[in-house]
Structure 1
């Protein structure tokens, strides 16, 4: 049987060991602050800071921006329909074939060049300007001017009067491209907003882990206090050894919980740095914001009103409807026959001298004028009719999709508002529950001083308080997250922090 002196030596040893663990823990908590200038660097971060850093540095946000930048290049491609083309040609020919008439020469030479500019206008007009120079030589004795130079200049116009009436289809393709680009920008902004929400959520995850570390430290100190009380009572013979061992186990358990909380905080910090693409994983971070704040309920009507004005998926669907309306107009025009009006005016001058040939263009009206009207009528026109029917059906489908998005906006905002209000209510309830458990534990400790309590009851009450504090911090965390989700449901989170053009 152990003597009281032997027991006292054992528990003195246990006390020294636990005191040593406490000192190590305290050093682990305070050493980084003492070595800030030498090894580790502490930085303070707020929600505003991490949001700004994410907008500046996040790789995911930069990738989302490039999706819009790439789509913008399609506008220049669509407008290339109205590019100006420069045409040029140089030729040489010699004909020594046997001829059927003696009036024709047996040896003819010709060399020349031509240069022209061709451009299609937004009105559907194709304009061509040409200039040609030719020098000809013949062995025929019946050629009046031999050799001779011919200078010729002309202008040609082609105008669509039926299908693609005055460039209707050409301009429509550019309008649709612009709407597609705007929709791509909306999609990129949605992606950026989601990434920003993830960063903010990661920040509140870090704040939660920091809060839970503080709670774990407080519960360790509380368990340490209870252990000291029971050690003193044991040394005076007022309690059993099993009671003291139970308190020792509780204190050791609380110590391990502090270590796990430290690890979880470090993991949350590294995840935050990864999403921001900023900061060094060796740096120590102190959050400026507290998890607890003044929780407030939100008004459903005001939130829905804001969401209707800012939801990007609703705007995208409206743009799709506009594009489809333009497409229907084009498809209706495609039912028309092809009617093309053509007109050309050309003038030439001949002279033995090349310079005088070109100078004579302005002095002599050796003109040729041509006007023509061409028709091409598809008798069945089944392709155009099918395209028009398809476009009308797709428009009806888009109208139903728009109605669905309206319902979706109401549902998502309604759910988000309910979640915020429920979390606000849960926070309020658990704040009172934590106070009850704190008061309950304090009263039980008072009973312990009068010998009217036991270790099992104290441990159970302490566990109740720990769980209540953890639940309160979790509800605060969910409340913070619910506000982020509400902003996302309204598509207003990104606009709150970023007003620059994309």
Structure 2
């Protein structure tokens, strides 16, 4: 609640100047200004180069288009998508090639003479290899060589075409374990979409909250300006009565103090408006500059458009639609996949391999493709086995994966409880404030009537200026409380929709992550 206690130094200065019958201090600073002069003073005015009027919907749309934080958040989904492409590329075919040259020269000086001999070979290979999700590795290659030696008059060419297949039988032999990395990367992309959705919901909540702060600041300024004008009229009337001899001179003290209080409140209200505008401008501006633009809010907090559904409705919606809950459910699925991957690592490696090929020999490279072995071929097949003794590393990885899965499951349950608490707290707060609005409206009406009574009593000489000032102060406080309550209810309505995960649905904004995530494998 706003404190209306006067600042002691200002009150003492005003009292001293009045008691001495002076309107200024020794240095010429005036302490008693008219209401018109006080209203014209704007200590927090900025050199604004433009003015822009915004509705609430326009402010939200502008934030979604230009907010720098949202731009950065959107890039996270694209970054996560690159990891999915990277994992998918594991199963892409790859082209390989290599070439090498070998040369051997020997000198034999035995039996009384020297003899030189040499052997050289040039070899090249080109092929295609691919790994399949079934745990199968395929390699298709063509290898060619040319050999020269001192024992042959002509070069000898050899070409071999072959196919190799390796099939994992135990470790790496199941499709679900081989696709774990790809499925995890896909879940990361989906989780990033829920992160963006949660960021957008919070951004809209912040924009609407700052927008209503600006509306509240404008309303407060208007209330204080009106109250200052009323206090000025009361002071004028009091001074006329003092000059007429109907009132003692001390009656003017309370009236002047009341004007000082109104001026204090007006200064604070203008300062709060400057802060509220900067907070809203930061959320809205993208490549432009809104710091020196005066933003005017033209939407009003129409309470008839917003009503509270039953508490259970918001709780049920939160379980299905909250972005943080759905993102955590995706993390649970990711850790379940990690258990599958590490369980596969507990198995020994047992691979079956087979290699089949056919070679051709000739005196030229081109003839090697036509000069084959006929029905002849080369074939190799077998099994390879590999098992670390103890397999402690794989055991540790699998244990860690299982513990992490339990941890994320407990985290999910905790987040769900926190979400329900968040929804219930905001619902109770909104319901309380909604009930207070009508009561505060009645309070304002009664305070207005009380002020009229005190003013009437003062005019007929039965009341005092102090009683009128107190009534004015009570009316001002009740009007400020009503304005703050109305705006706060409007803000809580948005916060409640955000807490239930349905803010984007109510605002008609389409974004990924609107459906509940079901934990599945």
Give the whole-Å Cα distance in 1 for the aligned partners of 2:278 and 2:407. 46
Give how far 1:154 is off: 1.0
SS in structure 2 opposite 1:107?
strand
Give how far 1:273 is off: 0.7
Does the C-alpha gap of structure 1 residues 320 and 256 become closer, same or farther in structure 2, counting only changes over 3 Å?
closer
Give the corresponding residue for 1:298.
309
1:213 maps to 2:221: yes
Give the whole-Å Cα distance in 2 for the aligned partners of 1:157 and 1:198. 59
Give how far 1:417 is off: 0.7
Give the corresponding residue for 2:516.
none
Match of 2:233 among 218, 221, 225: 225
Does the C-alpha gap of structure 1 residues 320 and 262 become closer, same or farther in structure 2, counting only changes over 3 Å?
closer
Which whole-Å deviations, capped at 9, do the CAs of 1:416-449 have from their partners, x for residues lacking one? 1101101112222211111111111011112222
Give the corresponding residue for 1:57.
66
Does the C-alpha gap of structure 1 residues 266 and 380 become closer, same or farther in structure 2, counting only changes over 3 Å?
closer
Give how far 1:302 is off: 1.2
Contact 1:105 / 1:138 at 8 angstroms: preserved in 2?
A: no
Give the corresponding residue for 2:412.
402
Give the corresponding residue for 2:189.
181
Higher mean alpha-carbon deviation, 456-465 vs 108-117, is at: 108-117
- Which sections of structure 2, spanning at least 5 residues, go unmatched? 1-17, 25-29, 514-521
Does the C-alpha gap of structure 1 residues 311 and 256 become closer, same or farther in structure 2, counting only changes over 3 Å?
closer
SS in structure 2 opposite 1:106?
strand
RMSD (Å) for aligned C-alpha atoms: 3.2
Q: How many residues align?
A: 479
Give the corresponding residue for 1:417.
427
SS in structure 1 opposite 2:250?
helix
After TM superposition, list the pairs within 5 Å mapping 1:267-306 onto structure 2.
267-277=275-285, 280-291=290-301, 293-294=303-304, 296-306=307-317
Q: Structure 2 length as normaliser, TM-score? A: 0.83
Give the corresponding residue for 1:364.
374
Which whole-Å deviations, capped at 9, do the CAs of 1:332-357 have from their partners, x for residues lacking one? 33232211111111111111122121
1:481 maps to 2:482: no
1:374 maps to 2:402: no
Give how far 1:497 is off: 5.2
Which whole-Å deviations, capped at 9, do the CAs of 1:85-111 have from their partners, x for residues lacking one? 32222222232225899xx99322322
Contact 2:53 / 2:297 at 8 angstroms: preserved in 1?
A: yes
After TM superposition, list the pairs within 5 Å mapping 1:222-371 onto structure 2.
222-277=230-285, 280-291=290-301, 293-294=303-304, 296-361=307-372, 364-371=374-381
Give how far 1:39 is off: 7.8
1:43 maps to 2:52: yes
Match of 1:129 among 140, 144, 161: 140
SS in structure 1 opposite 2:291?
coil
Give how far 1:217 is off: 1.2
Give how far 1:326 is off: 1.9
1:92 maps to 2:101: yes
SS in structure 1 opposite 2:126?
strand
Contact 1:347 / 1:365 at 8 angstroms: preserved in 2?
A: no
Contact 1:126 / 1:157 at 8 angstroms: preserved in 2?
A: yes
Give how far 1:131 is off: 1.0
Match of 2:166 among 146, 158, 161: 158
Which whole-Å deviations, capped at 9, do the CAs of 1:45-78 have from their partners, x for residues lacking one? 1221111111111112222222333232221222
SS in structure 2 opposite 1:241?
coil
Give the corresponding residue for 1:4.
none
Contact 2:254 / 2:465 at 8 angstroms: preserved in 1?
A: yes
Q: Structure 1 length as normaliser, TM-score? A: 0.86
Contact 1:298 / 1:420 at 8 angstroms: preserved in 2?
A: no
Q: Which has the higher helix share?
A: 1
